[in-house]
Structures are given as C-alpha cells and as structure tokens.
Amino acid sequence: MAEQRPDQPEIESLSRTQVLIAMGVTAVVLLLVARLWLQFGTVILLPLKGSPIAVLQGLGLGVVITLASAVVYRVWAAYRQSADYYLALVLKPLVLPDLIWLGLLPGLSEELLFRGVMLPAFGLTFEGVIISSLCFGVLHLSSPRQWSYVVWAATIGVLLGYSALLTNNLLVPIVAHVTTNLISSTIWKWRDREKVVER
C-alpha cells in the first residue's frame, strides 16, 4: 500500500476484485445514464465514425495528454500527491492484464456520457465544452483534498471535448482516453514493480 501522507484522506486498501467490480459498476452506471439521457432527452449522440485518421488523431492526442501529465506531475506537487494517492488506490491491487479493462471501461463509458451525450446536450460550443469538462472533473473527486486531480481531469476534459468538437467524431476522444489510461497505468505499474524489486 502507498505510504499515507497527512494531506490524504484515509481509505482502506481495496482488493483486486473490489477495484474491478467498482470499475465495471461505474462503467455500467455511466452507460445507463447516457442511454436514459438519449432515450428521454432531445439530445442526439455525437457521431462515432470509424476511420484510420480518427484512430491516429486519438492516438496522437492520447500521447500528448500522457506527456503533458508527466510534465504537470513533475512541476505541480499538489497534483503529484493526488495522482500518487489515486493511482495507488486503483492500480496497486491490479495485475498487468487488468490494465486493459482500466483503459477500455472508463475510456468508453466516460467518453460516451461526457463527450457523446453531455457535450451535445449543453451545446457544441465553448460553453458546452467547459460545462461537460467540469462535470468530468467532478467525477474524479474522491475527496475535497484531491482537488488538484479534479482540476487536471477537467483540463483533460477540455482537450477531449475540443477534439470531439473539431472532428465531429466521438472515436477521437475515446481512443485518446483509452490510450492515456493504458500508457499511464502501465508506466505506473512498471515503476511500482521496480520499487518493490529495489526493496
């Protein structure tokens, strides 16, 4: 378990099963909210168009987000502490094959709701991007002390929202989100494994 810092909330360690169930339940709830919003609202889902260019755009954006996150992690102590805490809580119990689910489940369900449904509902405008991104940030709030993680998630939400807006294709933010989750979680697990070996 990650060392507890005084500025972090006390949360018991989760088991691998608990983390996987939480990921699955969260994804199902987000997909259900998106489905109900589409069913009973007047919103039209942002198009999901498969193309090699969209995949490449998503991969490129995912790499850019991952690199930006690495820079912010190094220069912003509050974010570093929040990210370490959050990632240790979620990633520590998982094994490497589980990271595929960690990439896919949030990447698909969160993008479907926040960029696919919420963004068109609030308007395919600057304001719509900001509102849906703030909602996306709040989803990542595990404690008031983890506010910096929320700020970063909301910032990433803006990038993902603009990618959806500029391309009019939900596939771009989905691929970017999955790519970022996969790269970041794999790097974190690799470093955590090296720390264990060094001990």
End-to-end CA distance of the chain: 14
Task: Please tell me the total number of residues recorded for the chain in this structure.
Answer: 199
> CA 82 → CA 103, 176, 177, distances in Å?
20, 22, 19
What average pLDDT score do residues 49-66 get? 98
What average pLDDT score do residues 25-54 get? 96
pLDDT of 2 > 70? The answer is no
pLDDT of 1 > 50? The answer is no
- Residue 13 pLDDT class (50, 70, 90 cuts): confident
> CA 1 → CA 9, 86, 110, distances in Å?
14, 12, 27
Distance of CA 146 to the CA centre of its chain: 15
* pLDDT digit string, tens, across residues 70-127: 999 999 999 999 998 888 888 999 999 999 999 999 999 999 999 999 999 999 999 9
pLDDT of 59 > 80? The answer is yes
Dihedral sign computed on CA atoms, order 133, 122, 164, 113: positive
